[in-house]
Structure 1
Amino acid sequence: MTVPRAGLLAALLLSALPMAAHAAEPPAYDAALAAKFGADERGMRAYVLVILKTGPKPMPAGPERDAMFRGHFANMQRLSDEGKLVLAGPLDGVDGWRGLFVFAVADIEEARRLAATDPVLVNGEMVAEYHAYYGSAALIGLPDVHRRLQRPQP
């Protein structure tokens, strides 16, 4: 699937709009959920968006590259399980844009420390670009919803 850069940015910006604006009847405010997700009075919170781009040291196909990417996926799972990584996925590779992370941290330095644990960054396969992002606090619940949608693997 091709995702133009402008489309990605538009999608991220649209996620910042409260979902109640699209509903026929606004849902009841849930103070406990807002507190759990770290929502402000608008139902929003700070994140760090990380754009992963092609790095200076692409690794050739083979067992080492396979191991690096297994480590990449394991690292993302660990960060998600810790509640730090709320969204991740590949991009189309156009202009070297390879993927993205959204970290549930307010500080770019903390996002840098978390991203530095990823084998694709450690090995120079990819480099990271960091941006402060203000979006819906509902993103915090995304990993749990995703687990409910993912079919068990045999």
Structure 2
Amino acid sequence: MTRYAVSLLILLCFACGSSQAQVADAKPVDAALAAKLGADERGMRNYVLVILKSGPDRVADGPERAAMFKGHFANMERLAAEGKLAVAGPFTDKTDWRGMFILAVETVEEAQLLVATDPVIVQGEMVAEYHRLYSSAALMAVNGIHREIAPE
């Protein structure tokens, strides 16, 4: 994924939040849902966008690589269950940009502590780049909706 595509993703997040703020003026807000999702008065919240890039130490194909990625997915599931990982996914174009996390934390330092627990980072398969993001609190509902629509 190019930097242009990531910029577009970020703009869409801002647009979603801006639209939500405009709708909030036109209708009553679900205050309980807003509180559950950590929304501020605009229906927004702080996140940290993490771009995962190819690291210096590619782990060779085989059992060690398979175990590393099994741990990577388990780590994402744990962070989602803890309410820390709002959205994650791989980039499908073949560049050194491998994937991204949107973490529901206030600071880059908090995000760094969470990302440091991931086996792909620990083993040097990937490195992380961090960007503060202010976007719709509705992103916090993505994991619950995904569980309802995805097969096991």
TM-score with structure 1 setting the length? 0.89
What are the Cα deviations for residues 23-77 of structure 1, in whole angstroms up to 9, with x where unaligned?
Answer: 8xx6531111111111111111100000000000001111100000000000000
Structure 2, gaps ≥5 residues long: none
What are the Cα deviations for residues 102-138 of structure 1, in whole angstroms up to 9, with x where unaligned?
Answer: 1000111110000000000000000000110000000
Q: How does 1:44-59 map to 2 (within 5 A)?
A: 44-59=44-59
Does structure 1 residue 62 correspond to structure 2 residue 62? yes
Question: Residues of 1 paired with 2:151 and 2:22: CA distance?
Answer: 29
Question: Residues of 1 paired with 2:59 and 2:108: CA distance?
Answer: 27
What are the Cα deviations for residues 73-112 of structure 1, in whole angstroms up to 9, with x where unaligned?
Answer: 0000000000000111101354410000010001111100
Identity rate, percent: 55
SS of the aligned residue for 2:56 comes to coil
Question: Residues of 2 paired with 1:126 and 1:20: CA distance?
Answer: 35
Q: How does 1:1-154 map to 2 (within 5 A)?
A: 3-17=1-15, 18=17, 19-20=19-20, 28-152=28-152
Structure with bigger helix share is 2
Question: Residues of 1 paired with 2:93 and 2:119: CA distance?
Answer: 18
Cα RMSD over matched residues?
1.8
Equivalent residue pairs, number: 148
Structure 1, gaps ≥5 residues long: none
